[in-house]
Chains A and B, each alone.
Chain A
């Protein structure tokens, strides 16, 4: 459909009316020109009629004079008759030669004849002709008068009829034009009336729709829609309103939604004015702090916070809040009851289009639970520490006694012992050592877990470390009948690592290799790579199932051997190694295949990067 503005519609309506009017004029044009031509034609007719009338008058005047003369017979009368004759002849001669009056020529000749007859008659009278002659002449004159009369009448009637016809025709045409005009006028009025009604109705109806719609929207019913399809500005307006209502609805929805969100959210939300007074707070804030919203509005926001027990100064805090520079800051709320509630506070600035801060938004999560948990953890850790130290102490002390005691006896300080006694005591000593190692492992792991282990990071030579391990472990390998070799370059760049701990790692790995390899070889390789020193312990042992690899480095995971022989150990070894290597900033991993063997790799960075 064309899009027509209201103005266009009105213009079109007027245009139609104008066209109708113009068409009327056009239709009437031939008629009007006909009238015009008729009018023109009527002029000579009128003239002729006038002339005829003049003649009639003059001739009748003459006839009267003659009558009078013959009744009164005075010279005066005679004079008048002659004057009348002159008048008539004057007319006749005047008109006789007019071409335009050629149709009256007949009459003119009659008139002239008449005149002559009259003149002759008067002449007879003068001459004193016989009554007979005169009477006859009078008869002749009479006849001529009659003839003239007849002719004049005929001509006049004819002209009159013509004129009448002309006028009639003109009247008819005019009538027709008037009728047409009337009809068209009626049409124009009707159309104008109708179209104005229709148009105004349409516009008004649409405006009413608009009004109703906007009223509804204003009243808050944002689902209301204005349905106008008039293809003009009003429709555009309606659409704008609809869009607006849509936005409002969405905004309201989202506003309601947002209101809901704000009301529901667990975090506290405080909106602060630039002058650090409270603009608004959410439900969570009120709930947590025990205030009502009214109690807080306009109050300085500082009253809700306490920097006690934190690393921040009160003044510093105010400044930071003002600049909305606090992010994940650990601080305390001060509740109405005075209770301090630890929170994590974040702020952000709400800026206007000129980048001025209009509000500061403060959100905080209370971390009581966390703090409590932390406390608990701390307690637990402390407890664990205490426990550990206590355990270590308590375990180690009797262990020391046992070991020393056994050693004393074994070494013969208490006298001689027989072979049986020695054997038994040897068994005891081995187990004591084992127990000691176990305790160490547990304690080590605990230390690692609580990150209490501090690494003595020093520049060390890995090659030397490997050689120490080799020296230490070789006898054990030989004992088991395994080949233990080193594939290590003579020179490797020094790296920064905790020697004791790395020794621990390596010995652990080698021990594992020894544990899980029944026949074959164990090899330690080392080389330098971009990241650091890459060390590997290769064995030809039973191998590890692919699905078990992920479990390896977890604590307390002891893998079964294929034949399910019991392997001694706490299962903490690899976990400890993992911790140690990780704390070095390195990597530890394993490659293995069932039946073929395993290779444990680790990389120590040259320098520990602070992670």
Chain B
């Protein structure tokens, strides 16, 4: 009877041992032999694309995946011709490298590599860093999935609404194609009434509109001022402090010093999400089965000086999650 027990316990032990051996690799799933090509539309050193790339790299580290990065450098060479040539180069690389998945970060990669050569191809592609909408590119294709880059006006609105007396939202933006487009997308994500959108070309107009909207709306979103003639941030800060009466929010980092709150999107979210989707594809999922998402994370900034002018008292939760700015710009 004792022998039986011994044999039994030995058997159990060995089975357990085998199970352990078997389960260990499960933790570190091995994508050994898999290749991913990461197309960086811009150049190393560019804050946004770097952020995306670094995040993706980090995510794919220790997975056993062979990750290749290729730069298109189209920020420095914005011509279409260059972009096309760059795109071609990438295509050739794809042919030689034969990646299992391609991550196309930002517009150029999509426009000049994926769209022309790999639209609905066998090669699965993960898109990231595309602003607001894929449809201009005809995407999503059958072989694409990814993460859209949006401005986090939704959260801005929420924050502003807490401090505002109503839900009328105003937008003060630079008058450009891009900004107009941006502003166009804003209303999708703003819960409140987007009652007034102003586009200005110069600083004076800006200031004018700013004062104007203090009465017209309950909260104001100020967009990226790059392009506004005569823009002077210091002057703006002073001006705003003087005249601000309604909560102001922004998604532009540089505008935090004149806003009550700022919600700034982060490139890491793009990169990580893309990389995660890529792994899912490597796991066997079809790109078309992976839903396309948009970024949600953002860094919250609160400007206490503005808050003081407005008499706005943030909730502790808000302050906890925010980077508190005392007057000046974003001090990370």
Question: Given the complex of chains A and B, what is the CA–CA distance between A131 and B2 in angstroms?
Answer: 79
Give every chain B residue within 8 A of A142 (Cβ-Cβ). 316, 319-320
Question: Given the complex of chains A and B, what is the CA–CA distance between A566 and B308 in angstroms?
Answer: 197
Contact of A135 among B313, B317, B320 (CB under 8 A): B313
What are 26 A-to-B residue pairs whose CB atoms are below 8 Å? A63-B316, A66-B316, A67-B315, A67-B317, A70-B314, A70-B316, A71-B162, A131-B307, A131-B309, A131-B312, A132-B304, A132-B305, A132-B308, A135-B304, A135-B312, A135-B314, A135-B319, A136-B304, A138-B314, A138-B315, A142-B316, A142-B319, A142-B320, A146-B320, A190-B1, A190-B2
A138 touches B305 (CB 8 A): no
B324 touches A139 (CB 8 A): yes
A138 touches B313 (CB 8 A): yes
Q: Which of B1, B304, B311 has the most CB of A within 10 A?
A: B304
A67 touches B316 (CB 8 A): yes
**Within the complex, what minimum Cβ distance (angstroms) separates A124 from chain B?**
9
Give every chain B residue within 8 A of A125 (Cβ-Cβ). 313
Give every chain A residue within 8 A of B317 (Cβ-Cβ). 67
Give every chain B residue within 8 A of A136 (Cβ-Cβ). 304
- 1/0 per residue A526-545: CB within 8 Å of B? 00000000000000000000
A130 within 8 Å of B (CB atoms): yes
Question: Given the complex of chains A and B, what is the CA–CA distance between A136 and B314 in angstroms?
Answer: 10
In B317-332, the 8 Å CB interface with A consists of 317, 319-320, 324
A145 touches B308 (CB 8 A): no
B310 within 8 Å of A (CB atoms): yes
The secondary-structure label for the interface of chain A is helix
Question: Given the complex of chains A and B, what is the CA–CA distance between A71 and B158 in angstroms?
Answer: 13
- 1/0 per residue B273-310: CB within 8 Å of A? 00000000000000000000000000000101101111
A303 within 8 Å of B (CB atoms): no
Give every chain A residue within 8 A of B316 (Cβ-Cβ). 63, 66-67, 70, 138, 141-142, 145
**Within the complex, what minimum Cβ distance (angstroms) separates A559 from chain B?**
108
Give every chain B residue within 8 A of A134 (Cβ-Cβ). 313
Q: Which of A66, A142, A145 has the most CB of B within 10 A?
A: A142
B188 within 8 Å of A (CB atoms): no
Q: Which chain A residue lies CB-closest to B317?
A: A67
Question: Given the complex of chains A and B, what is the CA–CA distance between A79 and B308 in angstroms?
Answer: 25
The secondary-structure label for the interface of chain B is helix
Q: Which of A66, A130, A146 has the most CB of B within 10 A?
A: A130
Q: Which chain B residue lies CB-closest to A187?
A: B2
A135 touches B2 (CB 8 A): no
A549 within 8 Å of B (CB atoms): no
**Within the complex, what minimum Cβ distance (angstroms) separates B142 from chain A?**
47
Question: Given the complex of chains A and B, what is the CA–CA distance between A155 and B175 in angstroms?
Answer: 56
B2 touches A186 (CB 8 A): yes
Give every chain B residue within 8 A of A186 (Cβ-Cβ). 2, 5
**Within the complex, what minimum Cβ distance (angstroms) separates B6 from chain A?**
11
Contact of A131 among B1, B308, B324 (CB under 8 A): B308
Question: Residues of A within 8 Å of B, CB-based: how many?
Answer: 20
B307 touches A132 (CB 8 A): yes
**Within the complex, what minimum Cβ distance (angstroms) separates B143 from chain A?**
46
Question: Given the complex of chains A and B, what is the CA–CA distance between A135 and B307 in angstroms?
Answer: 8
Say whether, besides A136-B304, A186-B5, A131 and B315 are in contact (CB < 8 Å): no
Give every chain B residue within 8 A of A138 (Cβ-Cβ). 313-316, 319
In B1-17, the 8 Å CB interface with A consists of 1-2, 5
Q: Which of A67, A135, A145, A190 has the most CB of B within 10 A?
A: A135
Instruction: List residues of chain A with CB under 8 Å of any chain B CB.
Output: 63, 66-67, 70-71, 125, 130-132, 134-136, 138-139, 141-142, 145-146, 186, 190
Question: Given the complex of chains A and B, what is the CA–CA distance between A190 and B317 in angstroms?
Answer: 67
Question: Given the complex of chains A and B, what is the CA–CA distance between A580 and B316 in angstroms?
Answer: 171
Shortest Cβ-Cβ A-B pairs, 3 listed: A132-B308, A70-B315, A131-B308
Question: Given the complex of chains A and B, what is the CA–CA distance between A134 and B316 in angstroms?
Answer: 10
Q: Which of B310, B313, B315 has the most CB of A within 10 A?
A: B313
Give every chain A residue within 8 A of B305 (Cβ-Cβ). 132
B308 touches A135 (CB 8 A): yes
Question: Given the complex of chains A and B, what is the CA–CA distance between A609 and B49 in angstroms?
Answer: 170
**Within the complex, what minimum Cβ distance (angstroms) separates A135 from chain B?**
5
Question: Given the complex of chains A and B, what is the CA–CA distance between A425 and B5 in angstroms?
Answer: 143
Give every chain B residue within 8 A of A66 (Cβ-Cβ). 316
Question: Given the complex of chains A and B, what is the CA–CA distance between A146 and B307 in angstroms?
Answer: 23
A139 touches B319 (CB 8 A): yes
Give every chain B residue within 8 A of A139 (Cβ-Cβ). 319, 324
Give every chain A residue within 8 A of B307 (Cβ-Cβ). 131-132, 135
Give every chain B residue within 8 A of A145 (Cβ-Cβ). 316, 320
Give every chain B residue within 8 A of A132 (Cβ-Cβ). 304-305, 307-308
Q: Which chain B residue lies CB-closest to A72?
A: B315
**Within the complex, what minimum Cβ distance (angstroms) separates B2 from chain A?**
7
Question: Given the complex of chains A and B, what is the CA–CA distance between A142 and B317 in angstroms?
Answer: 8
Question: Given the complex of chains A and B, what is the CA–CA distance between A145 and B319 in angstroms?
Answer: 12
Question: Given the complex of chains A and B, what is the CA–CA distance between A145 and B162 in angstroms?
Answer: 23
Question: Given the complex of chains A and B, what is the CA–CA distance between A427 and B173 in angstroms?
Answer: 219
Q: Which chain B residue lies CB-closest to A69?
A: B315
Contact of B311 among A67, A131, A141, A190 (CB under 8 A): A131
Question: Given the complex of chains A and B, what is the CA–CA distance between A130 and B313 in angstroms?
Answer: 9
Q: Which chain A residue lies CB-closest to B305?
A: A132
B319 touches A131 (CB 8 A): no
Q: Which chain B residue lies CB-closest to A128?
A: B311
Question: Given the complex of chains A and B, what is the CA–CA distance between A134 and B304 in angstroms?
Answer: 10
A131 touches B320 (CB 8 A): no
**Within the complex, what minimum Cβ distance (angstroms) separates B197 from chain A?**
29
Give every chain A residue within 8 A of B162 (Cβ-Cβ). 71
- 1/0 per residue B208-230: CB within 8 Å of A? 00000000000000000000000
Q: Which chain A residue lies CB-closest to B1?
A: A190
Say whether, besides A71-B315, A139-B324, A142-B320, A131 and B310 are in contact (CB < 8 Å): yes
Question: Given the complex of chains A and B, what is the CA–CA distance between A139 and B318 in angstroms?
Answer: 10
Question: Given the complex of chains A and B, what is the CA–CA distance between A71 and B313 in angstroms?
Answer: 10
Q: Which chain A residue lies CB-closest to B312?
A: A131
**Within the complex, what minimum Cβ distance (angstroms) separates A182 from chain B?**
10
Question: Given the complex of chains A and B, what is the CA–CA distance between A316 and B305 in angstroms?
Answer: 165
7 more A-B contacts (CB under 8 A) besides A131-B307, A135-B319, A142-B319? A70-B316, A71-B162, A131-B311, A132-B304, A132-B305, A135-B304, A135-B312
Q: Which chain B residue lies CB-closest to A66?
A: B316
Give every chain B residue within 8 A of A71 (Cβ-Cβ). 162, 315
**Within the complex, what minimum Cβ distance (angstroms) separates B259 from chain A?**
15
Give every chain B residue within 8 A of A190 (Cβ-Cβ). 1-2
**Within the complex, what minimum Cβ distance (angstroms) separates B71 from chain A?**
41
Give every chain A residue within 8 A of B314 (Cβ-Cβ). 70, 135, 138
Question: Given the complex of chains A and B, what is the CA–CA distance between A131 and B319 in angstroms?
Answer: 13
**Within the complex, what minimum Cβ distance (angstroms) separates B272 from chain A?**
26
Give every chain B residue within 8 A of A131 (Cβ-Cβ). 304, 307-313
Question: Given the complex of chains A and B, what is the CA–CA distance between A199 and B5 in angstroms?
Answer: 25
Give every chain A residue within 8 A of B324 (Cβ-Cβ). 135, 139
Question: Given the complex of chains A and B, what is the CA–CA distance between A146 and B313 in angstroms?
Answer: 19
In B181-238, the 8 Å CB interface with A consists of none
- 1/0 per residue B157-175: CB within 8 Å of A? 0000010000000000000
Give every chain B residue within 8 A of A141 (Cβ-Cβ). 316
Question: Given the complex of chains A and B, what is the CA–CA distance between A139 and B321 in angstroms?
Answer: 10
Q: Which chain B residue lies CB-closest to A146?
A: B320
**Within the complex, what minimum Cβ distance (angstroms) separates A271 from chain B?**
69
**Within the complex, what minimum Cβ distance (angstroms) separates B327 from chain A?**
9
Q: Which chain A residue lies CB-closest to B309?
A: A131
